[in-house]
Amino acid sequence: MKNFHLYAITGEEFHPRKDVIDVMEEALQGGADIIQLRDKTSKKPDVLKKALALRELTLKYDVPLIINDHIDIALQVGADGVHLGQDDLSLEEARRLMGPDKIIGISTHHIQEARAAQEGGADYIGVGPIFPTKSKKDVVAPVTTNYIKEVAAEITIPFVAIGGIKLHNVDEVLSAGATRVCMISEIVGSENVQQVCSQFREKLKPYQPVNLIVNGENHELHVQSIQELVLHFKLKPNLIIAEVDGEIVDRDSWSHTPVKDGTKIELVEFIAGG
């Protein structure tokens, strides 16, 4: 699935005088890179109408559209995927209905649920609620940032932190190991949705990993230079030749040779004493 970091969910109760499509367009303009339609109150035909409008909008911005709960609507509008909770349709059944290529996200509140979702083939998991939230009825007790730490240490599929996340507490979430965050009220309830999203993007920047191809394998890593990459792999710098996108980079330049998404790197190790 396309990578994402700022996940915005609809919540029309938080903007009674604004249209949901306009609000989500503001979020996209501010840098939201995945959108979920979550509507727990409208009748099905109205949810379908909103889903169709959001499909058009998200195609314009080239970001994934996820539909909460309703697989039938997701399929009908050609959404990219669905989000399901522990009490919704099972992951197995959802995968059968959606097919192998659609995104399926699963809410988790405990490491056993996270493991089961990963083993069952979920594309990402929700990790929450991190803090108290009023946006979801019957929500479980906050799992705190401790749960983020557990997931970050063990789970290899993407995870997104959710629940009570605000601009004032997102640093705690990111420093616990989350690199993707998801909000309803703090985004859509804001006077200036675009600005709040831009502010979240700024907060996320230092925590975003780069996707590198190292010796032919994809790696998502928190490194900024060749120097940091060599140290990450615990290699001995004096025994390494580094080739970046086909060019050998002198060892003295490693620390100021930045690495960007998609860079192809070959690290060749000499056998000392030859």
Annotated binding site for Mg(2+): 69, 88
Residue 197 zone, left/alpha/beta (φ > 0; ψ -120 to 50; rest): alpha
The residue with tokens 């420093």 is 175
In the window 130-159, what residues touch ligand LCLJCK34 (CB under 6 A)? 136
183 binds, among Mg ion, ligand 3NM, ligand LCLJCK34, none (CB under 5 to 8 A by kind): ligand 3NM
Nearest distance in Å: CB 85, Mg ion:
4
179 binds, among Mg ion, ligand LCLJCK34, ligand 3NM, none (CB under 5 to 8 A by kind): none
Residue 126 interacting with ligand LCLJCK34 (CB under 6 A): yes
CB 105 within 8 A of CB 90: no
In angstroms, the CA 239 to CA 246 distance is 19
Q: Which structure tokens are listed for 31? A: 């840098």
105 binds, among ligand 3NM, Mg ion, ligand LCLJCK34, none (CB under 5 to 8 A by kind): ligand LCLJCK34
Q: Give Dmax (Cα) for the chain.
A: 74
The residue with tokens 């599929």 is 157
Task: Extract the annotated binding site.
Answer: 36-40, 68-69, 88, 107, 133-136, 164, 184-185
Q: Which residues are catalytic?
A: 38, 107, 136
Give the residue from 238, 239, 201, 242 showing the smallest Cα distance to 223: 242
Residue 38 interacting with ligand LCLJCK34 (CB under 6 A): yes
In angstroms, the CA 133 to CA 150 distance is 21
Nearest distance in Å: CB 94, Mg ion:
11
For residues 85 and 209, which CB has a smaller minimum distance to ligand 3NM in the complex? 85
The residue sitting closest to ligand 3NM, measured at its beta carbon, is 128
Residue 102 interacting with ligand LCLJCK34 (CB under 6 A): no
In the window 5-34, what residues touch ligand LCLJCK34 (CB under 6 A)? 7
In angstroms, the CA 63 to CA 91 distance is 23
Q: What residues make contact with ligand 3NM under the rule CB under 6 A?
A: 107, 126, 128-129, 133, 135-136, 139, 162-165, 183-186
List of residues 6+ apart from 192 with CB closer than 8 A: 26
In the shown chain, the binding pattern of residues 206 to 225 toward ligand LCLJCK34, with x for contact by CB under 6 A and - for none, equals --------------------
Secondary structure of 39-84 as H, E, C letters? CCCCCHHHHHHHHHHHHHHHHHHCCCEEEECCHHHHHHHCCCEEEE
Q: Which structure tokens are listed for 43? A: 């009748």
Q: Quick check: helix, strand or coil at residue 161?
A: strand
The residue with tokens 């539909």 is 67
Give residues in contact with ligand LCLJCK34 (CB under 6 A).
7, 36, 38, 68-69, 83-85, 88, 105, 107, 126, 136, 160, 162, 182
